[in-house]
Structure 1
Amino acid sequence: MRVVVIGAGLAGLAAACHLTGRGYEVTVVEREDVPGGRNGLIVREGFTFDTGPSVLTMRDLIADPLRAVGADLDDMIPMRRLDPAYRAQFADGSTIRVRYGREAMRTEIADTCGSVDAAAFDGFVDWLQDLYVAEMPHFIDRNFNSPLDLLSRPDVAAKLVRLGGFGRLGNAIRRRFTDDRLHRLFSFQAMYAGLAPDEALAIYAVITYMDSIEGVWFPESGGMHAVPVALATAAEKAGAQFRYGASVADVLRRSDTGGVAGVRLDSGEQLAADAVVCTLDLPTAYEKLLPDLTPPRSLRRPRYSPSAVVWHLGVRGLPEPGVSHHNIHFGHEWGGAFDDLMKRGTLMGDASRLVTIPSLDDPSLAPEGCSTLFVLEPVPNLADGHIDWVRERGPMRERLLGFLEQEGYPTDVVTEELVTPLDWQQQGMAAGTPFALAHTFAQTGPFRPANVERRVPGLVFSGSGTVPGVGVPMVLISGKLAADRVGEYLRDDASTSATRPRRASRRG
């Protein structure tokens, strides 16, 4: 049976690997000339920039789709663990490094924050692990058909209640540590879920577990783009076909059932299929490919995550000793800065920023004596913000340049690319945010937009806008869940599909 996957981002590639490994005839259609989607690539004047995620955790979730097509992670993507995972620089001039392993991190906390917080660290790790074990198989790596599915494992739900998972993340961290710097270090990950730490549920501490406890990795060669390249290579070797430089204009539907019959490309070419996996941002998918359908209720008044300005720089010079691959610079403000971002829709009055320097661990990403920098500042999305990005683009660049100079980074710019919410919007990301819907309770688990469209049988969604959510680990799981949905549909449909007429029609 034939399956078309729209998009060769991480979600689409994971789906393609799982589907190919299960024996389906898979064609992946990707508008760019290379795989990766948001995990794309810019090569300019000898510098190589990753355009998407910069933090890689939970490498077993990359191994899973590779294994599905008979490939080995260590052979396909040799990696090294980053230790420290982060260098956290605080406004008072102090530094805490997130070290791998309980003993190393306990020692780091003892040296920087004192013995009381160091003693609390082991209990904190145990709590994170308990949350992870309860959540992953039952609430993350799972397809939901309705909110009632939550009642299928009352024992697990009760355990999460006992663990305080439905309380607030900020409070959960403050109860365990006395040092305000640790409150920030172990709760800023709520931003990945599109929420302020004091608003996010404590169950999102699993993100803290993924990077601060399980560790952060980096490919030895090729930067983060090595991940989609490896997934695409493995899928293609196993039999999947890739159509690069092609865009899908329509989802074709059967005249008898309304189910999918394939896709039509912008060129007019039609690709027949028994099922379609769509990885476009969900609001964009409904607008562009399903204009005749009213979007589901969860997309009619959505709450989006904040966006980000990302500045890619190729610079002459190398970082000073002590600078890490990932560097988080926390401002003086915390709660007030989140209010600026998420309530007032303005720039953070005292922004916290991430500076990633991938050339530290892969010198091939920059010419000799030079560095590649990735600078990220959270900003409001276009739906909630009150910022004119046409006017603000220049001033934002100057502020970021001043920040880099103040913090001692090399700033002799050779080449650069500044990405604002307007650019994310032009790439097809609703509200100009690459982080999709925020993980509020009403947009989490079975309440998040479903990965099936019941009105178009055989159409399955994957990516950060559907279950389980945002981030590299989540979209890789999303690809597997989409493959499971395709399998369910084709098994259910198998008894009658051979005898039904297959007349395709375009609707909308």
Structure 2
Amino acid sequence: MADTPTVIIGAGIGGLTTAALLSARGMPVTVLEKEATPGGKVRQLDVDGTPIDAGPTVFTMRPVIDAIFEAAGACTDDHLQLTRADTLARHAWDRTGHLDLFADHERSVDAIGRFAGSNAARGFREFSTEAKRIFDILDEPMLRGSKVSWPLPLMWRIGLWRVGALHAIRPYESLWKVLGEHFADPRLQQLFGRYTTYCGSSPFQTPATLMLIAHVEAQGVWKIEGGMSALANALEAVARGNGTKFRYGARVEEIQNDRRRVSGVKLESGEVMPTRSVVCNADPSALGSGMFGDAARRAASVTKPRDRSLSAMVWLAKSNTAGFDLDHHNVFFSSDYTAEFEAINAGRVPSDPTAYVCALDHGTMGTAPQRFQIIVNAPANGDTHAYSEQEKDQCTSNMLSRLRSCGLELETPLPHSLVTPSDFSKLFPATGGALYGRASHGWAASFLRQGSRTRIRGLYCAGGATHPGAGVPMAALSGKLASEAVLSDRISTRWYHRKATAGGMSMRSAMTEATG
């Protein structure tokens, strides 16, 4: 089996990254994907003949992607057209005006000062400084490194001499509490608390450590011509160019092993592919729950329903608008943030939700109606709760009411397609519709995520539900870590021939590279 390919299950961002990097090193790779196109959660759906992005829309940490393309022997600019946004996002509340945050930090300081006063501007400066400090402490040792335990192994990576670093990342304090130290205005607490939803978590239950997400976004947001699916297509093209083989409509039924290590995969068609290394780009719960056969159950643990991240109600719509000047990324906040998350914790979609609106055609010369993706946070109960048409209609009405309260009018009835937690649960088995794996609730959550290696030798994990976490750049980093684990474990066999790559597998910090 020395010449068998590494099999990657799933062509999500993590799997595509793994494929591109392994094949760049001369390793034979085959990607098996049950759907008809690459991308995983990064996908488009057809709404009345128009493709609309149905997955992630916010693209940050561009240097991570640049470094991955370079390590795979390619250049990002040869495959993608990227434009850096001047405005990070537009935020609105009940007819009290709106607040923009900008790529230019001083413009954000000034905007916050005009919106909420000089004390708020000063609080934002202090918050930004602390968020950057936490990111700088954790970037290399945790976000880019393999999974590590708490506290001594992490302390070893950070540097034993930096004794104060563990205290500085504030793991035992809730983010909501710490936001109150920086901002007296509840609207700003909402705004900066919302960043925890980027990893599917509640600001009331996450550690203050996660304020680092605000720093990541402040370093730059990019718009991709063609949407996020263009990134998936580009990674696939690079992997293909390096020799990776792709098979779509190929559902894996079983990961086989002989109790010592992986020995092959069996497809739903009955075909068996011998292999000694498999990278599973699916939620690790799919392994632990037996979705890939009983022999693979022991590879990973199942995330309990109470520990799942958020799911979502996602509207894909085309509509004319009135009353509110939209930017590309827009957030319309609920009137009661506490009640919103209490409803989600109780297994209900909030009746007064915060709504994120991505105006996909913003900045183009296209004619109305425009395309939108609208997201409301929801519980990950898609495996136990079927959303009725009446319930979906009520959620749509509540969402439109929230937008209307903030000044935005969409067409009524709204031409749209609605994706619910039940739909996500079917698409991503064993998750209940959780879109980010395990929620980042409590100080230990980040250390409980599945790492690249599993309990079965030769079986690895990649994707947004594994370390280092959710989001497109993190999923890409998980693919890089998986590729390094595969190479490390197989390097001694020396059966494959390396290809020369520009930059190898090493990656500098995203915050030390040029971000322009």
Relative to the length of structure 1, the TM-score reads 0.88
- Say whether the 8 Å CA contact 1:443–1:449 is kept in structure 2: no
* Amino acid in structure 1 at the alignment position of 2:168: R
CA deviations 1:3-29 (Å, max 9, x no partner) are 111111111111112212222111111
How far residue 117 of structure 1 moved from its aligned partner, in angstroms, is 1.9
Superposition pairs of residues 28-67 of structure 1, within 5 angstroms: 28-67=31-70
From 219, 225, 243, the equivalent of 2:229 is: 225
- Say whether the 8 Å CA contact 1:85–1:215 is kept in structure 2: yes
Identical-residue share of aligned pairs (%): 28
Please name the residue that 2:292 is paired with: 289
Q: Do the aligned partners of residues 157 and 203 (structure 1) sit closer, same or farther apart at CA in structure 2, a change above 3 Å counting?
A: farther
CA deviations 1:222-267 (Å, max 9, x no partner) are 11211111111111112211112221122233x4x63223322222
3-state SS of the aligned residue for 2:223?
A: strand
How far residue 183 of structure 1 moved from its aligned partner, in angstroms, is 1.3
* Whole-angstrom CA distance in 1 between matches of 2:433 and 2:89: 27
- Say whether the 8 Å CA contact 1:190–1:197 is kept in structure 2: yes
Q: Do the aligned partners of residues 463 and 105 (structure 1) sit closer, same or farther apart at CA in structure 2, a change above 3 Å counting?
A: same
Superposition pairs of residues 319-398 of structure 1, within 5 angstroms: 322-342=325-345, 344-362=346-364, 368-382=367-381, 388-389=387-388, 391-398=390-397
3-state SS of the aligned residue for 2:477?
A: helix
For structure 1, the residue ranges without an aligned partner over 5 or more in a row are 498-508
Superposition pairs of residues 1-400 of structure 1, within 5 angstroms: 2-144=5-147, 147=150, 149-153=153-157, 154-156=160-162, 158-211=164-217, 213-219=218-224, 221-253=225-257, 255=258, 258-286=260-288, 287-295=290-298, 298-299=301-302, 301=304, 303-315=307-319, 317=320, 322-342=325-345, 344-362=346-364, 368-382=367-381, 388-389=387-388, 391-400=390-399
Please name the residue that 1:503 is paired with: none
* Whole-angstrom CA distance in 2 between matches of 1:371 and 1:229: 24
For structure 2, the residue ranges without an aligned partner over 5 or more in a row are 497-516
Q: Do the aligned partners of residues 252 and 362 (structure 1) sit closer, same or farther apart at CA in structure 2, a change above 3 Å counting?
A: farther
* Whole-angstrom CA distance in 1 between matches of 2:86 and 2:315: 24
User: What CA RMSD, in Å, does the superposition of the two structures yield over aligned residues?
Assistant: 2.6
How far residue 402 of structure 1 moved from its aligned partner, in angstroms, is 4.4
- Say whether the 8 Å CA contact 1:310–1:374 is kept in structure 2: yes
How far residue 30 of structure 1 moved from its aligned partner, in angstroms, is 1.3
Superposition pairs of residues 429-444 of structure 1, within 5 angstroms: 429=429, 430-441=431-442, 444=445
CA deviations 1:432-484 (Å, max 9, x no partner) are 22222111347634322233222x21110111222111111211111111111
- Say whether the 8 Å CA contact 1:296–1:449 is kept in structure 2: no
* Whole-angstrom CA distance in 2 between matches of 1:155 and 1:198: 32
How far residue 82 of structure 1 moved from its aligned partner, in angstroms, is 2.1
* Whole-angstrom CA distance in 2 between matches of 1:189 and 1:157: 28
Q: Do the aligned partners of residues 44 and 388 (structure 1) sit closer, same or farther apart at CA in structure 2, a change above 3 Å counting?
A: closer
Aligned length: 486
* Amino acid in structure 1 at the alignment position of 2:449: R
Please name the residue that 2:490 is paired with: 490
3-state SS of the aligned residue for 2:372?
A: strand
How far residue 384 of structure 1 moved from its aligned partner, in angstroms, is 10
- Say whether the 8 Å CA contact 1:222–1:362 is kept in structure 2: no
* Whole-angstrom CA distance in 1 between matches of 2:23 and 2:9: 15
3-state SS of the aligned residue for 1:61?
A: helix
* Whole-angstrom CA distance in 2 between matches of 1:362 and 1:355: 17
- Say whether the 8 Å CA contact 2:7–2:30 is kept in structure 1: yes
* Whole-angstrom CA distance in 1 between matches of 2:44 and 2:163: 41
CA deviations 1:317-353 (Å, max 9, x no partner) are 35656211111111110122212212x2223242111
- Say whether the 8 Å CA contact 2:400–2:410 is kept in structure 1: no
- Say whether the 8 Å CA contact 1:450–1:466 is kept in structure 2: yes
How far residue 309 of structure 1 moved from its aligned partner, in angstroms, is 0.4
Superposition pairs of residues 396-435 of structure 1, within 5 angstroms: 396-404=395-403, 407-411=407-411, 415-429=415-429, 430-435=431-436
How far residue 138 of structure 1 moved from its aligned partner, in angstroms, is 1.0
3-state SS of the aligned residue for 1:142?
A: coil
* Amino acid in structure 2 at the alignment position of 1:217: W
- Say whether the 8 Å CA contact 2:35–2:249 is kept in structure 1: yes
* Amino acid in structure 2 at the alignment position of 1:299: V
